[in-house]
Structures are given as C-alpha cells and as structure tokens.
Amino acid sequence: MYYLIWLLVSFFPLIQSTNLTDIIDPPIHNIIYTNSGYNSDFIEVSIGVPILFWNQSDFPMWTASDPHPLHTDFSSFDARRAYAPGGLFVYVFKTTGTYAYHNHEKSNHRGIIRVIDPSRPFIPIDKTKESLKKTRDKFLAMLDPHDDTSISHMIRTLESDTRLSRNCHDMSHDLGHRAYELFWFSRAMTWSNGNIENTSVDDVCAGWYMHGILEELFLHHPELQKNPETVCSNIPEKHQGSCYHGVGHGVMFSNKRDVEKSLLACRTMSNNIFVYRCFEWVWMEMFWGDIGHAGSNSLGWSIDDPFARCKIAKNDEKPTCYLYAHLGYLRSHIWDFTGVVKFCTKSDISSQDSEFCLKGIGITMMKHFTSHHLEKSESLVKNLSTSQKSAYYEWIIGYAILSSVPRVDLNTFCSDLRVDTPVCLKVLKNAK
C-alpha cells in the first residue's frame, strides 16, 4: 500500500486526481488544500487509515498539530516542512482521539480530524446530576463542530447566568469532554486559538470544564502519564495550578483508577506545588469518581473506613488525601453533613489531618449551599474549636472565590452569621 502511495506522490503532477479511494485498497482519506483552506476541514476516520493532504493551492502547505506555532498538542503530527503547490503529505494516526491542525504557513487555515476505533468505542462520560441534564444538553447543543468560536459563546452564556455558574461543577465536566471530542486540546482550552477571545477556562465552573478536557485527553493518550508536566507547560502560568490539578483526574482515568501509579505519575513533575495539585485530584477521583468511566471494578478504598487509605499514605500525600476523605463518608451517608463533621473530628487522627478534612467539607458546603442558603453551614460547626472553624471557613471562602462569588457577597455571608462572624471575616481578609 505504501509503495502505491509513493508512486502517487512521485507522479501526482501527472495524476491530479482527488478521488484516489478508487485507486488504493485498503481505503485512504483525502484532504485537499485549496486557496480557501483544507477541504474538508472536519473528518472522521478509522485508526490506521492513511490521510493524504494534497496541496492544490497557490500557497506552501505545512500541515501540523495545534497550537500554532508550537505544534505541541501532538508533536508527531507535523509535516516538519512546507510542501509546495502540487505536493503531498501523508500521515497515519495510530491512536484514537480528536486532532486539530493548521497550515503553519497560513495559520488561519485549519482543520480537525477525529480518529475512531470501531471495535473499541469509548464509554460516554456522564457526570451531571439528573436535575441538570436538560440544562447541560442545552449547552452541549451550542457547540458547533465547524465553528470553534461556539466554545466562547457557550462559556459566555453559562457565565451570564450567575446562579448556574456557581453550581455547574459536575455539568462542566461533561462540557469539557465534549469540547475535547469536537475541538481537541488547545482549541477546547481556548488559550492558543487566535480566532476566538482568550477565555480563562480556569475560571469556568471552578476549573471543572478544564478538568473534563484533561480527562478525555488522558483517556485517548495514556502515554502522557509518563511525562504529565508537558501537558500544562505551554499554558499561561497563572492557570497552570488548576491545569495540574486536572492532570490528577487524567492520570486516574488513564491508569484505570490505580492510585499508586497515578501518584507516581504526579511525582514525575519538577514543581512541588504542581505535584501537590495533582495529588489533590487523584484522591478526589478515588473517593468520588465513577468506576465505570475509568474501566475499573474497584473503588480502591474501603467504604466502611475511608480514612484507612489516608493513614497509610506517604507524609506528603496525607494532606490531600484527608482533604477529600469526607467524600468517602458522604458516598455512603448521603446529605449527612452533621455526621461528616463528626467523622472529620474523630480522635484517632491528628489535628492537622482533621483540619484538612474540615477544609474539604468547606468545599462541599460551598457547592451544596451556593444556590440555597450558605448561612446554614454555621450550625454544622458550632461545637468546633476556633482553629477547626477557621479551616472549615477557609475553603468555603476559597472555593466560593474560585467559583466567582463576589467578595461583597461573601462579606455579607460572614456578617450574617450568628456566632462565627469574626472567624469568617478574618478568613475572608486573608483569602487570595
């Protein structure tokens, strides 16, 4: 087959054919590059099918992976040079996924290729609670595979609904997965796309839209776990922390929820802060993730004793493990917030571990009460010490800020508390 392709390359000036699927068997797929761009600019092919990029334009054609000019999303998908009019570039994808590309010589000419394996379909990701599925589907319908500016439209519409934008965490995972499926990494993230506004996806639903993108990326490219630091290295520095947080999700997906392998993948990163952020989401995915999405039949911990896994963790892993251990309790004690506070203040764990557990409850309280009455959260900690309350309010306030709750609203929240106003206001003053 490749000998035939070589012959076609050699004699293309004589052949000038755009219907080459009649000549080569097994099938190939042709993409014609014209003065107007790639035609077609959105295709779906099976894994292993040769894709032939024919330059029938008046311009040089250098076909390469997004983003421009780095080509780092999938560096092997790069012609490495410009092909003159009449030239042919051939590429075969050996992994499934969505691959966005452009002409390096004329970067506004772009395209997307979705590579599938019909024998191994991926399990659809569905993390949205039942009450929000219709809303999620409305936003999914805004994404147009032929127009990546539809990402900005979707995000602007979502963020214009203040109540929804503060309670869209799970739903935004699904939006991120779909955006990756349609537009691939850089375009879904929006940072490297010169054709649309530079949306800060780090802020979309507290970063969970971004984390959905990263989960899908690692599902299709598990090899990234060998060097996960490269995934976020080219994005703006101020967003990298949240990105590495999402890497924790991704490595758990690619490792089928194997916690030890995932923690080791996090440790390959050179920056300890990013290692810590990666640890956070490994534990979160372990305690709350859906085993069906990651292809595993095991939670990886005992639902009867969520702390057991944290107690045997390495010292630098313990804080992040205890931060999310409360989710293990809530998994079997739905809505029992009074009980989970007692769980986090058990006498058989250290005061530091207890405070990290309370910080985690603060995250959950903010998410739960954001659309209701956050002031009700005070009653849950009425019997705790000042330091324990500070830990609890620290992450209510921190996660609220991350979810774009205005500080003036948080000041009102603190002031309306019956007893804990001084503690809450001090936490708010020190919050970044």
Which has more confidence, 273 or 62?
A: 62
Query: Chain-centre distance of CA 265, in angstroms?
Result: 17
**Predicted local distance difference test score (pLDDT) of residue 245:** 86
Enumerate residues 6+ apart whose C-beta is below 8 A from 401: 407, 410, 431, 432
**Which of these, 217, 165, 159, 161, lies nearest to 189 by C-alpha position?**
217
Enumerate residues 6+ apart whose C-beta is below 8 A from 256: 294, 295, 296
Query: Chain-centre distance of CA 332, in angstroms?
Result: 27
The pLDDT > 90 percentage for the chain reads 42
**Predicted local distance difference test score (pLDDT) of residue 405:** 81
pTM given for the model: 0.77
**Which of these, 171, 230, 237, lies nearest to 204 by C-alpha position?**
171
For the record, the structure tokens of 268 come out as: 């390959």
Interval 307-315 mean pLDDT: 94
For the chain, what's the residue count? 432
pLDDT tens, 249-271? Answer: 899 988 888 899 999 999 999 88
Interval 232-249 mean pLDDT: 82
**Predicted local distance difference test score (pLDDT) of residue 164:** 83
Other beta carbons less than 10 A from residue 373's beta carbon: 10
In the predicted structure, residue 70 carries a pLDDT above the cut 90? no
Three-state SS at 110: strand
In the predicted structure, residue 367 carries a pLDDT above the cut 70? no
For the record, the structure tokens of 60 come out as: 């040089």
In the predicted structure, residue 141 carries a pLDDT above the cut 70? yes
pLDDT tens, 368-381? Answer: 554 445 556 788 89
Q: Are 11 and 80 in contact (CB under 8 A)?
A: no
**Predicted local distance difference test score (pLDDT) of residue 375:** 54
Residue type, 341: V
| Spatial distance between the Cα atoms of 111 and 98, rounded to a whole number of angstroms | 11
pLDDT tens, 5-45? Answer: 444 444 444 333 334 444 444 578 999 999 999 998 889 99
- Calculate the CA dihedral of residues 17, 23, 25, 30 and round it to 10 degrees: 10
Q: Are 61 and 16 in contact (CB under 8 A)?
A: no
In sequence order, what DSSP letters do the residues of 396-412 get, joined into one string?
A: HHHHHHHTT--HHHHHH
Interval 207-222 mean pLDDT: 87
